[in-house]
Amino acid sequence: MRAAATAQDDLLAQARRLATEITGLRRAIHAEPELGLQTPRTRDKIRLALGHLPIRWREGPSTTGLVGVLQGRAPNSRSGRRVLLRGDMDALPMPEDTGLPFASTIPNTMHACGHDAHVAMLAGAAELLAARADRWSGEVLLMFQPGEEGWHGARFMLDDGLLGSAEAGTLPDAAFALHVMPNAPHGLVGGRAGALLASADMLDITVQGAGGHASMPHQTRDPVPVACEIVTALQTLVTRQFDAHDPVVVTIARIEAGTTHNVIADVARLKGTMRSLSPAHRARLHEAVTRLATGIAAAHDMAAEVTITNGFPVTLCDPRAVDLGERVTRDLLGAEAFRRLDAPIMGAEDFAYVLDLVPGAMFFLGFAPQGEDWTQCCGIHSPRMMLDESVMPRGAALLAGLAERFLAEGF
Ligand SMILES: [Zn+2]
Ligand SMILES: [Zn+2]
């Protein structure tokens, strides 16, 4: 990938000249998707694509994540600012059903969340920033991160010190990321200050009873009605104990108990997810759910064991970073290209770990084909999810523009 810079060239035009390279990298990654924290082939493709650039690379040890450091060379400027741009690298364990010529060649593995495009757009941004390095000063950290789909890849990379450390004051000053939205209007950028995405924690409840003959329940302690009571009481808890303006979601997605018609089970097991949009409500929800389940079980002379497995925290966007994103988008892509989202999305994203420590924002970028009814397009995590690749240069230009603008102006 090579970007030629001329003095009066604008970022978007430069990005468009990289379209073939950006698309090529995306397709190569799409055809060979990898899961989890170890994505070595994806890492190698990134290193190969950007091998000619003056990037210092940091790697390992916990994941195949990469941080590339690019240095600005603008004369007469002493910005010591550091800005991070992030692209995630991993795919999902699911079969692909797109029929694309570059569809996945790995069974049951698909880039259905668009992380292949995130990598390619970030590589494109690296190319643009390197070609324009005499226009900016400071440092850009290119964070290529595996293990977003539930693997806490961002947390591992932070723990490995690849992004610097809070104690030493070496973390970046701002952080930005994009996420593709295949079922949002072509080229539209969306963002919001505050909570953008929810925290997502796993809930496991085991109600311990004592089984026996189904015709003589008084000689048993039947965990099934108790489990059912917990399921319905959880919904009452959600609506009666939590402010509707700072909502939480609890879903019991699986109930498991018993074997046949006439045997009362020893145990009933519930599995579900808990979502919240503020750290305070997340903590309260954990306490309240535990109290409710153990309390209901105790009322029926049984015991409930509640296990909460923390997923990603709430993704909180800094208002200043969202404002900067709005300005950059309007300048680059036109006044109509940015939209403030009315409400957060209850999905979760591990960029939240970065935004916990570094002020910044994630933006959604619409990838529906131009002129098509975007509401009919398959969303992320669909086996038929497709992206209009002509949007990718815009994403690369947007990332580069965010970095340049932050390094020049700060928040
Ligand atoms: Zn995903
Ligand atoms: Zn994703």
The structure tokens listed for 385 are 């999810």
Gap from CA of 214 to ligand 1 centroid (Å): 44
Gap from CA of 13 to ligand 2 centroid (Å): 27
Gap from CA of 228 to ligand 1 centroid (Å): 31
CA distance 291 to 285: 10
Gap from CA of 131 to ligand 2 centroid (Å): 28
Look-up: residue for tokens 């815009």?
A: 394
Gap from CA of 92 to ligand 2 centroid (Å): 9
pLDDT tens string, the chain, 411 residues long: the values are: 555 544 446 999 999 999 999 999 999 999 999 999 999 999 999 999 999 999 999 998 999 999 999 999 998 666 689 999 999 999 999 999 999 999 999 999 999 999 999 999 999 999 999 999 999 999 999 999 999 999 999 999 999 999 999 999 999 999 999 999 999 999 999 999 999 999 999 999 999 999 999 999 999 999 999 999 999 999 999 999 999 999 999 999 999 999 999 999 999 999 999 999 999 999 999 999 999 999 999 999 999 999 999 999 999 999 999 999 999 999 999 999 999 999 999 999 999 999 999 999 999 999 999 989 999 999 999 999 999 999 999 999 999 999 999 999 999
Gap from CA of 90 to ligand 2 centroid (Å): 9
Look-up: residue for tokens 């669909």?
A: 382
Task: Please give the CATH architecture assigned to the domain spanning 11-196+314-409.
Answer: 3-Layer(aba) Sandwich (3.40)
Phi (first) and psi of residue 214, to 5 degrees: -70, -15
Long-range contacts of 367-376 (CB under 8 A, 24+ apart): 367/114, 367/117, 367/180, 367/181, 367/182, 367/184, 367/186, 367/391, 368/182, 368/183, 368/184, 368/185, 368/186, 369/186, 370/186, 370/187, 371/186, 372/186, 374/183, 374/184, 374/185, 374/186, 375/183
Number of H helices, E strands in the chain: 10, 16
Phi (first) and psi of residue 64, to 5 degrees: -95, 20
Q: Are strands 303-309 and 199-208 parallel, antiparallel or unpaired?
A: antiparallel
- 115 to 101, 207, 382: CA distances (angstroms): 18, 39, 14
The gap from C-alpha 42 to its chain's centroid, in whole angstroms, comes to: 18
Neighbours of 65 (CB within 10 A): 27
Position 7 scores a pLDDT of 43
The structure tokens listed for 280 are 């305070």
Neighbours of 306 (CB within 10 A): 18
Phi (first) and psi of residue 220, to 5 degrees: -125, 180
Contact (Cβ atoms closer than 8 angstroms) between residue 316 and residue 161: no
The helix (H) or strand (E) run that includes residue 67 is strand 66-71
Domain boundaries, the chain: 11-196+314-409, 199-309
Position 8 scores a pLDDT of 45
Gap from CA of 388 to ligand 2 centroid (Å): 16
Gap from CA of 356 to ligand 1 centroid (Å): 20
Query: Does the fold of domain 199-309 match that of domain 11-196+314-409?
Result: no
Please give the CATH number for the structural domain made up of 199-309.
3.30.70.360
